Amino acid sequence: MNQVSPTILRDRQAAAESSGGISSDPIYTAIQRVITDRDLHGKVLDYGAGVGHLARRLLSLDRFDQIAAADILPAPEDLASKVEWIAQDLNEPILNHDNQFEVVIAAEIIEHLENPRAMVRDLYRILRPGGTAIVTTPNNESWRSIGALLVRGHFVAFGDTCYPAHIVALLRKDIDRIFREAKFHSPEFRFTDDGGLPGMPAMTWQAITFGFLRGLRFSDNLLAIATKAR
């Protein structure tokens, strides 16, 4: 592994801090739905844990034997005794954790990292055979994001206000290829069913249609769920 310069490490830390270390409630709710639907258990890793919001939710489910969390940010004080905190720049491999987890959840982290292929290969390595990876990221195929691309020249979650936190924009085709290249089974895609209107993100498609408009074109975020071969 190449030695990372202090300047690069400092920039990565600053980018992580600029994101706030949290995701939205609809994303967490969608992740919890996958966990329940697939009856996931065992040892779970919150990959890119930020300030620990998802880790706290995982603790509240009372279904996992062990909970670990990894992030470049320091461990929140209230989680220090409850989860295994892995202090880690996730642009680099997580060492000494091969085949350790039944579940790895990367909520809104892949778009922050410099090499999404390296990240997914790392997820494959640290998962046990038959383990499940859940990766969420901005949905760049929503009407809102496509409209931003046509009008502004960039996807809606990748403008100047999101930089330098968001640096890699991915489509479903990209994600599918990345997972299959890493030897995962082809991912299942789900959506948060929570999406802002173009130009009025505080108002959602779901609010104005009483939940009728859902899925790919009407969700701000997507989930890719993939399993490692046994």
Please check the confidence at residue 2 and state whether its pLDDT lies above 80.
no
CA dihedral (103, 106, 107, 112) in degrees, to 10, reads: 180
Residue found by looking up tokens 């802002």 in the block: 196
Residue with tokens 């390595």: 125
Residue-wise over 123-132: b if at least 16 C-beta within 10 A, else e? bbebbbeebb
Average pLDDT on 63-78 reads 94
Note the pLDDT tens digit of each residue in 173-215: 999 999 999 999 999 999 999 999 999 999 999 999 999 999 9
For residue 164, cis peptide bond before it (omega within 30 degrees of 0)? yes
The pLDDT score that the predictor gives to residue 124 is 98
pLDDT score of 4 more than 90:
no
Tell me: cis bond preceding 116? Omega within 30 of 0 counts.
no
Would you state the structure tokens that stand for residue 229, as one six-digit string? 């071969």
Asked if residue 47 lies in contact with residue 132, where contact means CB atoms within 8 angstroms, the answer is: no
Domain 6-227: CATH architecture, name and number where available: 3-Layer(aba) Sandwich (3.40)
Tens of pLDDT along 133-185? 999 999 999 999 999 999 999 999 999 999 999 999 999 999 999 999 999 99
Is the pLDDT at 1 greater than 80, yes or no? no
Closest CA to 206 of 142, 146, 150: 142
**Is the model's pTM score more than 0.85?**
yes
Instruction: Give dist(CA 192, CA 221) in Å, integer.
Output: 6
Model confidence pLDDT, tens digit, residues 97-130: 999 999 999 999 999 999 999 999 999 999 999 9
Q: Report whether 101 contacts 75 (CB < 8 A).
A: no
- pLDDT at position 3 is 74
Domain spans of the chain, in order of start: 6-227
N- to C-terminal Cα separation, the chain: 28
- For residues 19 and 25, what is the distance between their CA atoms, to the nearest angstrom? 15
What is the chain's mean pLDDT, rounded? 95
Task: Flag whether pLDDT at 81 surpasses 70.
Answer: yes
Q: Where is average pLDDT lowest: 8-12, 33-37, 135-139? A: 8-12
What gap in Å lies between CA 101 and CA 30, rounded to an integer? Answer: 20
